[in-house]
Amino acid sequence: MIDIQILTCHQDNYCYVVHLNGVTLVVDPGDAQPVLDYLERHGCTLSLILSTHMHQDHCAGNVELKRLTGCLVVGGDKRIAAIDVVLAGENTVAQAIKSNLSGLDVPIEVFYTPGHTSADCCYYLSPQGSFPGALFSGDVLFSGCCGRIFEGTMAEMFNSLQQLKALPPETLLYCGHEYSLANYRFAAQIEPDSAIIGNKLCDLQLQRDRNEKTIPVSLQEELSTNPFLRTNDPALRKALKMEGATELEVFTELRNRKNHF
């Protein structure tokens, strides 16, 4: 059985409680209290924290959760708060925790996705039965956008997104913030004549007017609407007047424009 619950931290951060094969884990607890409240309410025992990167709005809750539950903290950066296992090379999460937590079955794949920081990781939970698979992307990939580039390079972020684009289109995207509406306002500015983006923006506005979360969203939908995943799309290139540019050049132009949006 796989169950994913979305918790809100701070103003617009999301962290995720995942129930997987009898294990309860949390992705990116920027604040311990919402997680502790959830665990108490549902009688759960936290075994594992997966951190996508070291920014405090994603990992500040690690210390308190580890102190109170004894859970293992895993991530790709030694700067992550309360980190126990630093992922490297071809490690899967299962391999990383094998010698630390016996008997846990956590079939999650790690993608090393630098760009936002120098050591971001994304976590992929593959399909099981009717479950279509899930990508926990932190601040690398958002609905409608990608993360700002603080420590990495444009090329690193572009290459990181190419990895994520290659996942099955049915995959559900669980990203680190509720940014979808603002992101698609930017997309609509870039392509004001796009009906699919205009419809997407209207749907998002209705969701947010009802105070609904816009996450998760399928990767397939993002591939058809998110400009940062469509750098080879002729319509987008025409809108940018960059028909002859490389995909990296298109991506760089988009990211620079979004920085000033």
Kindly list the catalytic residues.
53, 55, 57-58, 116, 139, 177
Peptide bond into 216 cis (omega under 30): yes
What distance in Å separates the CA atoms of residue 220 and residue 225, rounded to the nearest whole number? 9
> If you search the block for the tokens 């050591």, which residue do you land on?
119
Which residue type occupies 105?
D
Helical packing angle, 180-190 and 247-259, nearest 10°: 120
Which residue type occupies 47?
S
What distance in Å separates the CA atoms of residue 230 and residue 224, rounded to the nearest whole number? 7
What distance in Å separates the CA atoms of residue 75 and residue 58, rounded to the nearest whole number? 11
Q: Among candidates 160, 258, 169, which has minimal Cα distance to 217?
A: 169
Take residue 179 and report the two structure tokens written for it: 């940014």
Q: Among candidates 83, 96, 19, which has minimal Cα distance to 51?
A: 83
Other residues' Cβ atoms within 10 Å of the Cβ of residue 121: 26
Other residues' Cβ atoms within 10 Å of the Cβ of residue 139: 26
Take residue 260 and report the two structure tokens written for it: 């000033």
Take residue 212 and report the two structure tokens written for it: 């609904």
- Contact (Cβ atoms closer than 8 angstroms) between residue 150 and residue 161: no
